[in-house]
Amino acid sequence: MIRWRALFTGLTLLACLALLTGLLPQRAARAAEPQPKTPIKHVIVLMQENHSFDNYFGTYPGADGIPEGVCMPVDPADPGGECIEPFHIGNRPIEDLDHSTATALNQYNGGKMDGFVWALRLRNQEGTIAMGYYDGRDLPYYWNLVDRYVLFDRFFSSAMGGSVWNHMYWVAAQPGSEENRIPPEGYGDDVITIFDRLEERGISWKFYIQNYDPTLTFRTMGQGGPRAAQVVWCPLLNFPRFIDNPDLFSHIVPLDEYFTDLENGTLPSVAYIVPSGASEHPPGSIRAGQRFVKSLIQALMRSDAWYRSAFMVTYDDWGGWYDHVPPPKVDDYGYGFRVPAFLVSPYAKRGYIDHTELDFTSILKFIEENWGLKPLAERDARANSISNAFDFSQPPRPPSFIPEERASDEERPGPRRGVIYTAYGMGLFLAGSVIGWAAVDSRRRRGTDPVYPLRRLTRRRKRMMPRRSRGASDR
Amino acid sequence: MRLDTETRRRVGSGRSLSTALPWIAAHPWPRRALVAVGAAATVDRLVLALALVAGAALRLWQINRFGLNSDEAVYLGQAAAIAGDPILSQFFPIFRAHPLLFQFILALAFPIGGTDGSDLVGRLISVTVGLATVYLAYRAGTRLYGRRVGAIAALFLALMPYHVVVTRQILLDGPMTLGATLSLYLVARFAATERPVWLYAAGAGMGLTFLAKETGIILLGSIYAFLALAPEIRFRLRDLALSTAIMALVIAPFPLSIMLASGGGSQRAHQYLVWQLFRRPNHEWTFYPSTVPLAIGPLLILTALLGLWLARRRWSWQEKLLIAWIAVPMLFFQSWPTKGFQYLLPIAPPLAILAAQAVTQLGQRATASKIWRAGWLAPLLAGAIALTLLIPSWTQIQTSASERFLAGSGGVPGGREAGEWIRENTPEGARFMTVGPSMANIIQFYGHRQGKGLSVSPNPLHRNPTYEPILNPDLQLRSGELQYVVWDSFSAGRSPFFSEKLLSYARRYHGRVVHTESIPVVAPDGSVVQKPVIVIYEVRP
């Protein structure tokens, strides 16, 4: 008996142990990922290339767009001389406008914002095209998106310069180096990125790159040719600790995984995306860029992740294009000129234009607040969050594919249904009246004669003609 | 003394009999004959009641088991657009090809069922139209040959698979046949009385027939053929012209609404006319001979032919009218390149009357025969014909689904379920590529998403102008304008080429099956297996 009891006790303990070892780690793993403070469990951030706010949304109704009567002097030193008015670009050819720090400062011109053409002429570019803008005819998908979701019209690039600084602000809330270029030895461990914070807290993340080549990093970018842009656009490829640590490096993946992650329900909590050919970097096709963005948003909308997600689209710098709002000076690096930025989320306010002053670090701020992370640097600590664009008091909006065609402002009149009701009603009434008249007339002729049928029959028999064969008659 | 059918019909009327007793007493009519006439009238009424009850049962049995087919979806979609439904009016323009009388009636009833229940309500209205046609066949048969023929004709039509199947669906051919049978009845009354008012009424009836479906105008040829073939029917040209004018007035809502209501109807109507005139044949010339006689009932057709043979010596205006009512549409649709299963439905009531007349005639001859004295022959023959109609009707309305589909022959298994899945599980604004426009219509009706058929020709001469082609499927899939691909076995059976093409697109653009609708089918080994009939793929560039 004692042996049996011991055996039973042993087996029970073993079973408990098995349960503990089998279940607890899974529970622990699930519990390891902190729950966000808002319903947003997936933040997806896409950074496109090189357009100013006025270039894309300068004529968008209700936004802080191109002011009336603007005419950009060709030479700011000669205000009465030739000037260029903003114009619709349409199918005009465009070029890659210089967007170096020097050009940015010349265009800014000490806050006078009158050097947009002149600065480019200093770089041997004609410069007139900088005053061009696109509108809903050229950007139907983006304009349709912001009709339904949120457009930010005070969203500044973080640094008065080009891609390298701004991409660094995008992930690390700091420029990374004093010069707007990648240091030869890469960024050191003193530069903390949002992904370091996420990793510390066990929050899932991935960096998706279109046409990703994992052999191209800051160490090999000289051999990459045109594809070397991925090194600039994905700053993590400039961090030795990210590319030398296989675990961290495995988070940098081709964009195809974004689609499979959505299909498989494995989308990480934070996803950064950079394009390749569809970046809209002038003179690249803006239509191709829209289609690229559309494919990403549609895939999200088709997945279960939609109801818990926020998809943020922005542009790394102004690209040399005109923008009329002088960027506030917050430190030695920025802000830079305004860039287009919009948010798509089931919790986004509908058709809302957010005037909050924001920059790339505002996205970091939202991620940090959502998952309770420490700020990365002074810039993101001070930044406004994009949280004003959400309305969490409302139930999440169901997904809705946005058409690529822009509806005409002139509403086409629908068919006049009253005409159909009247016409067919009259037709029925007329037919009913004629048939009814025939029936009534027939009854009237028959009268109230009670023996009419037999009388009619007798009369008929008397005069029945053999050659005429007739059926029933009521005459 | 034997009373002829006319006497029985007249005296058999309860109202006349009750008020006529004093008159009868003063005249030497055999009382026994009158009692027999009354009993016969009761039998006829019972047969009519049986026809209506059985007809209703056949038409209502599991009526909404399967969702709408493409044509039903289009007509109900038009009705929804007329009723101002904000969702369906995005997908179904009011003006397509046909006049809108039936859609107008459906629109009046649309609020009863709303978007989700409108298919049931619409089909119930179709059933009502079908039963009204059965009753009118009774009236027309009675008018032509007496109450017994009318009752038997109503029974035949009520059980006829052709009429049962079509009037279970929201199709225009049911209402057109109602209008045609009404016109037949009114023409018969005119022929019997030669009173112009009935000719005017027949004009109004023809107008309604046209408003139900424009092909009903062909029966105008039947009327003129009848008047030409029956010189004993006297009429004045002035009355004929007035009758035609009344018909034109009743038809007027069709062109008037197109002209006045705007919405692109005028242009579309012109395009549709051009397309119909020059389109390629959609079926072989053997289509009608191979499908319609089986649906009408071979025994019924043989009996009708026998009846004509028996009536060859008499050859009265009644036979001429019925022959004209059958022959003209048959000849027209046989020679017209566009063929449809349900197009010949207006010939069903006159065929039923002819067959009923043959049964009655045979019965009378058998009863009168000194050798046979076979009073049982007529009921037996009528019962046999009714049975040969009932069995195929019952078979066709059973819920057993098929992976093949003949347009106009019923609902589409899985179509409603697929559409509802789409509505629940795909983003608003999603666009679907289907093998053909039929499944696209079903998706639009039930799924509230835009569908486009791959098989719709980019050549405007070779497509229905109401359908938009996919000009460059690769481009639209690559650019994300089409996000889903729907394959269905019904369209695949008709267009194997486009079925394979559609599947190749699904493979090329990372097609992932997100939903499947299956039906049970019997495998070669006798077991029942689920076979996919509709497969929805999610695609991406």
Contact A424 B249 (CB under 8 A): no
Residue B278 lies in a domain: no
Q: Both A140 and A180 in a single domain?
A: yes
Of residues A169, A423, A107, the one with CA closest to residue B95: A423
Residue of B nearest to A466 (CA): B314
Residue A327 lies in a domain: yes
Q: Both A371 and A436 in a single domain?
A: no
Q: Could you tell me the two tokens for B515?
A: 């939903």
Residue B285 lies in a domain: no
Q: Both B369 and B437 in a single domain?
A: no
Spatial distance between the Cα atoms of B241 and B196, rounded to a whole number of angstroms: 11
Best mutation target among B428, B484, B485 (most A Cβ atoms within 10 Å) is B428
Q: Both A365 and A453 in a single domain?
A: no
Residue of A nearest to B26 (CA): A451
Q: Both A337 and A443 in a single domain?
A: no
Spatial distance between the Cα atoms of B495 and B518, rounded to a whole number of angstroms: 20
Q: Are A262 and A302 in contact (CB under 8 A)?
A: yes
Q: Both A220 and A347 in a single domain?
A: yes
Residue of B nearest to A306 (CA): B427
Q: Both A145 and A207 in a single domain?
A: yes
Q: Both B391 and B516 in a single domain?
A: no
Spatial distance between the Cα atoms of B535 and B422, rounded to a whole number of angstroms: 11
- Residues from chain A that touch B94, judged by Cβ atoms under 8 A, are 415, 417, 420
Q: What's the domain range around B493?
A: 415-538
Counted domains in chain A: 2
- B528-538 sheet: strands from edge to edge: B450-453, B431-434, B484-488, B528-538, B512-522
Spatial distance between the Cα atoms of A323 and A337, rounded to a whole number of angstroms: 7
Q: Both A355 and A444 in a single domain?
A: no
Q: How far off is chain B from A457, nearest CA to CA, in Å?
A: 7
Q: Both B386 and B430 in a single domain?
A: no
Q: Give the residue from B395, B429, B463 where a domain finishes.
A: B395
Q: Both B337 and B215 in a single domain?
A: yes
Residue A445: partners with Cβ closer than 8 Å, 6 or more residues away: A474, A475
Chain Cα centroid distance, residue B513: 37
Q: Both B231 and B376 in a single domain?
A: yes
3-state helix vs strand vs coil in chain A, percent to 5: 40, 10, 45
Residue of A nearest to B142 (CA): A472
Residue of A nearest to B425 (CA): A302
Q: What is the DSSP string of A24-89?
A: HHHHHHHHHSPPPSSS--EEEEEEE-S--HHHHHTT-TTSS-PPTT--EESSTT-TTS-EE--EE-
Contact B263 A415 (CB under 8 A): yes
- Residues from chain A that touch B13, judged by Cβ atoms under 8 A, are 453
Backbone angles phi, psi at B536, to 5 degrees: -105, 125
Contact B260 A416 (CB under 8 A): yes
In the block, residue with structure tokens 């046949």: B177
Q: What is the mean pLDDT of each run of 10 residues along chain B (541 residues)?
A: 44 46 54 63 90 96 91 94 92 87 95 89 97 97 94 97 95 96 96 93 97 94 94 91 96 88 68 73 83 93 93 88 95 88 94 95 79 73 95 82 54 90 93 95 96 89 82 90 93 92 95 92 83 93 81
Q: Both A262 and A317 in a single domain?
A: yes
Q: Both B423 and B461 in a single domain?
A: yes
Q: Both B247 and B308 in a single domain?
A: yes
- Residues from chain A that touch B538, judged by Cβ atoms under 8 A, are 302
Q: Which residues pair with A209 in a beta bridge?
A: A254, A274
- Residues from chain B that touch A401, judged by Cβ atoms under 8 A, are 427-431, 483
Residue of A nearest to B540 (CA): A295
Helix (H) or strand (E) holding B521: strand B512-522
Q: How far off is chain B from A399, nearest CA to CA, in Å?
A: 5
Contact A426 B7 (CB under 8 A): no
What CA dihedral angle connects B200, B203, B205 and B208, to 10 degrees? -130
Q: How far off is chain B from A131, nearest CA to CA, in Å?
A: 30
Q: How far off is chain A from B82, nearest CA to CA, in Å?
A: 6
Q: How far off is chain A from B66, nearest CA to CA, in Å?
A: 28
pLDDT given at position B259: 84
Residue B73 lies in a domain: yes
- Residues from chain A that touch B7, judged by Cβ atoms under 8 A, are 454, 457
Of residues A461, A10, A45, the one with CA closest to residue A234: A45
Residue B136 lies in a domain: yes
Contact A452 B316 (CB under 8 A): no
Q: How far off is chain B from A352, nearest CA to CA, in Å?
A: 20
Q: Both B207 and B337 in a single domain?
A: yes
Helix (H) or strand (E) holding B287: helix B287-296
Spatial distance between the Cα atoms of B505 and B502, rounded to a whole number of angstroms: 5
In the block, residue with structure tokens 């991935």: A206
Residue contacts between A and B (CB atoms, under 8 Å): 197
In the block, residue with structure tokens 């696209």: B440
pLDDT given at position B298: 95
Which one of B13, B101, B265 has the shortest CB-CB distance to A453? B13
pLDDT given at position A221: 77
Q: What is the DSSP string of B18-84?
A: HH-HHHHHTTT--HHHHHHHHHHHHHHHHHHHHHHHHHHHHHHTTTTSSB--HHHHHHHHHHHHHTT
Which one of B94, B143, B541 has the shortest CB-CB distance to A471? B143
Q: Both B385 and B428 in a single domain?
A: no
Contact B207 A431 (CB under 8 A): yes
Q: Both A195 and A273 in a single domain?
A: yes
Q: Are B98 and B213 in contact (CB under 8 A)?
A: yes
Q: How far is CA B473 from CA B433, B436, B444, B453, B466, in A?
A: 9, 13, 19, 10, 19
Q: Both A101 and A183 in a single domain?
A: yes
pLDDT given at position A276: 87
Best mutation target among B6, B8, B431 (most A Cβ atoms within 10 Å) is B6
Q: How far off is chain B from A42, nearest CA to CA, in Å?
A: 19
- Residues from chain A that touch B144, judged by Cβ atoms under 8 A, are 471-472
3-state helix vs strand vs coil in chain B, percent to 5: 65, 5, 25
Q: Both A382 and A437 in a single domain?
A: no
Contact A420 B20 (CB under 8 A): no
Residue ranges for chain A with pLDDT beneath 70: 1-32, 224, 408-414, 446-475
Q: Both B188 and B304 in a single domain?
A: yes
Q: Both B166 and B306 in a single domain?
A: yes
Q: What is the DSSP string of B333-362?
A: HHHSS---GGGGGGGHHHHHHHHHHHHHHH
What CA dihedral angle connects B82, B85, B86 and B90, to 10 degrees? -60
Q: How far off is chain A from B423, nearest CA to CA, in Å?
A: 11
Helix (H) or strand (E) holding B388: helix B377-397
Q: Are A363 and A45 in contact (CB under 8 A)?
A: yes
Q: Give the residue from A371, A389, A407 where a domain finishes.
A: A389
Contact A427 B101 (CB under 8 A): yes
Q: Give the residue from B346, B367, B395 where a domain finishes.
A: B395
Which one of A401, A413, A439 has the shortest CB-CB distance to B427? A401
- Residues from chain A that touch B260, judged by Cβ atoms under 8 A, are 416, 419, 423
Q: Are A208 and A233 in contact (CB under 8 A)?
A: no
Supply the CATH number for residue A297's domain. 3.40.720.10
Q: How far off is chain B from A128, nearest CA to CA, in Å?
A: 32
Q: Both B96 and B241 in a single domain?
A: yes
Q: Give the residue from B349, B366, B395 where a domain finishes.
A: B395
Angle (CA) B192 B198 B201, round 5°: 145
Of residues A196, A271, A208, A300, the one with CA closest to residue A241: A196
Spatial distance between the Cα atoms of A34 and A36, rounded to a whole number of angstroms: 6
Q: Are B487 and B515 in contact (CB under 8 A)?
A: no
For residue A160, how many C-alpha atoms fall within 13 Å in the half-sphere facing its CB? 22
Residue A73 lies in a domain: yes
Contact A441 B195 (CB under 8 A): yes
Counted domains in chain B: 2
Chain Cα centroid distance, residue A304: 17
Q: Could you tell me the two tokens for B80?
A: 């929804």
Residue A125: partners with Cβ closer than 8 Å, 6 or more residues away: A95, A97, A98
Q: How far is CA A184 from CA A187, A217, A218, A219, B170, in A?
A: 9, 11, 7, 8, 75
Best mutation target among A149, A302, A397 (most B Cβ atoms within 10 Å) is A302
Q: How far off is chain B from A298, nearest CA to CA, in Å?
A: 8
Contact A298 B427 (CB under 8 A): yes
Residue of A nearest to B480 (CA): A295
Q: What's the domain range around A73?
A: 42-389
The three-class DSSP label of residue B283 is coil
Q: Both A176 and A308 in a single domain?
A: yes
